[in-house]
Structure 1
Amino acid sequence: MAIEQDNFQRYSRQIFMEEVGVEGQRKIMSTKVLVVGAGGLGSPIIQYLAAAGIGKLGIVDHDVVELHNLNRQVIHQEQDVGKPKVHSAARFVEAIHANLQYEVYSTRLEEELADSIFPLYDIIVDATDNFDTRYLINDSSVKWNKPLVYGSIQSFEGQLTVFNYQGSKNLRDLFPRSTDDSNLPTCDSLGVLGPLAGMIGNMMALQVLKLAIGLPVESNKLTLIDSLHWNFITVDY
């Protein structure tokens, strides 16, 4: 099936790639992705999935924009401080593509909500920084058999992987739940340079697009990035 002329022109630089083509773009445009978190990681993920023409974009976030978010959460602006992140995220998506389908959920992700919305999406993305939510996202992805693109950042370091894809392992296989993870470091305690969020978030968005197209995605491998010393390694798990 041909792609409309407007869409062909908009996405031509993707379509021209041998690995994508018209068929791959059609797959992107029929894929529904749920991004949990519209902060440091969620911002570039939302930005590039919307720009790539993803079929439907779901965004879950209960938080409001704060001034200290702006060094890395690039879809939000000064005028958004004090307002729900999903509102500025929605405005950003509309500015990129007025006809792009999206749904925002201005609430904390709980099990009941996960059970109601995870079945509606093809791919889940964990862009959160809360350990309780991470395990909920993981367990719900396993429950509903959804591939999960996972990433995290702090200071100069980041990591990403794809869980629960074609029988691959999940978060609990890699990081068994600690009895007390409340004291583990986060961006709030150690800080983070903004471009690192862009690096990891964009890599996560790329994995989402590869999943959507059906391109090879390695299983049971964790990519670790030390941007201070510019070390990139991948480890099996």
Structure 2
Amino acid sequence: MNDEQLLRYSRHILLDEIGIEGQQRLVNAKALIVGAGGLGSPAALYLAAAGLGHITLADGDQVDLTNLQRQILHTQERIGQPKACSGRVALAHINPEVQVKAINSRLAGEALAARVADADVVLDCCDNFATRHAVNRECVRQRTPLVSGAAIRFAGQLAVFDSRHPDTPCYSCLFPEGDDVEEERCAVMGVFAPLTGIIGAMQAAEALKLIAGAGDVILGRLWLLDGLSMEWRSVNFSKDPQCSVCASDSVRQSVPAGAGPGRPGAGRE
């Protein structure tokens, strides 16, 4: 790092758990953020401010007036612009050193696989189960850590999945694909604006800890926030031996032993 970076990130460097080595890992790291809305906004802003060197923002939607109540990446002047491009502008204002790639489409198939393969950590900030499950499958297949958040009405959820640890669960262990699930969306159900900030910021915190090697991430735990009472609840969960994603023979054989250091998604933002 140069002198300007040492000054910019000095408050991280002062932390024994991060220091210069941990901050350098952040500067060198790549994050994929799937969704540039209510959760992706605070997550992206904190990752950029913290100096995570390469951020890919993927979102197929455009900025709408109804987004501005909570999606703090965007402004009234950028209504009608692709959210990913609007987010890139916002992050450049926060930290011009960070390289931001905007993808103005919903990632799927080979495009999703390529982006997950290029990332050190993936943040699931999307608004639909199909994308969540697709992202989870790729993260399991490529052993890329996944930080998943959700928010609807006054309820927030957070969980971390890391298939580099063969005994830890994946998103599908908690929320099996194909279950008869009613999709809940903010456009119909509403969402408390600061709730998305709380959960999105926590997603950024877990992603930064994963990259810097600081502290313990919340593997095997689902954090639930009641935004009306401001009460947190933690629920332990374990790997499903019958999981169609992470318990398959192909996945078990591809994960080396000892590698690496309600359910999430029931709400949408």
For residue 211 of structure 2, give the secondary structure of its aligned residue in structure 1: helix
1:221 alignment counterpart = 221
What residue identity is the alignment partner of 2:192? L
What residue identity is the alignment partner of 2:158? L
- Say whether residues 1:210 and 2:206 are aligned partners: no
Question: Aligned-pair distance for 1:177?
Answer: 1.9
Counterpart Cα distance in 1 of 2:38 and 2:155: 13
Question: Aligned-pair distance for 1:32?
Answer: 0.6
What residue identity is the alignment partner of 2:31? V
Work out whether residues 53 and 97 of structure 2, in 8 Å CA contact, stay in contact via their aligned partners in 1: no
For residue 192 of structure 1, give the secondary structure of its aligned residue in structure 2: coil
- Say whether residues 1:32 and 2:33 are aligned partners: no
- Say whether residues 1:92 and 2:90 are aligned partners: yes
Counterpart Cα distance in 1 of 2:6 and 2:179: 51
TM-score normalised by L of structure 1: 0.95
What residue identity is the alignment partner of 2:228? L
Structure 1 runs not aligned, ≥5 long = none
Question: Aligned-pair distance for 1:164?
Answer: 2.5
1:184 alignment counterpart = 183
Question: Aligned-pair distance for 1:51?
Answer: 0.3
Counterpart Cα distance in 2 of 1:186 and 1:164: 27
TM-align CA RMSD? 1.1
Work out whether residues 62 and 82 of structure 2, in 8 Å CA contact, stay in contact via their aligned partners in 1: yes
Counterpart Cα distance in 1 of 2:159 and 2:106: 23
Counterpart Cα distance in 2 of 1:40 and 1:184: 17
Q: Which moved more, 1:186-195 or 1:40-49?
A: 186-195
Counterpart Cα distance in 2 of 1:31 and 1:227: 32
Of 74, 78, 81, which residue of structure 2 is paired with 1:76?
Answer: 74
What residue identity is the alignment partner of 2:113? D
Work out whether residues 129 and 183 of structure 2, in 8 Å CA contact, stay in contact via their aligned partners in 1: no
1:109 alignment counterpart = 107
Q: How many pairs align?
A: 234
Question: Aligned-pair distance for 1:179?
Answer: 4.1
Question: Aligned-pair distance for 1:218?
Answer: 3.0
Counterpart Cα distance in 2 of 1:232 and 1:125: 21
TM-score normalised by L of structure 2: 0.84
What residue identity is the alignment partner of 2:2? E
Which string of whole-angstrom CA distances, capped at 9 and with x for unpartnered residues, describes residues 62-108 of structure 1? 00001000010001000111110011101011111222112111111
Question: Aligned-pair distance for 1:61?
Answer: 0.5
Counterpart Cα distance in 1 of 2:91 and 2:123: 17
Work out whether residues 147 and 160 of structure 2, in 8 Å CA contact, stay in contact via their aligned partners in 1: yes
Counterpart Cα distance in 2 of 1:74 and 1:203: 15
**Aligned residues with identical type, % of pairs:** 38
Counterpart Cα distance in 1 of 2:231 and 2:225: 6
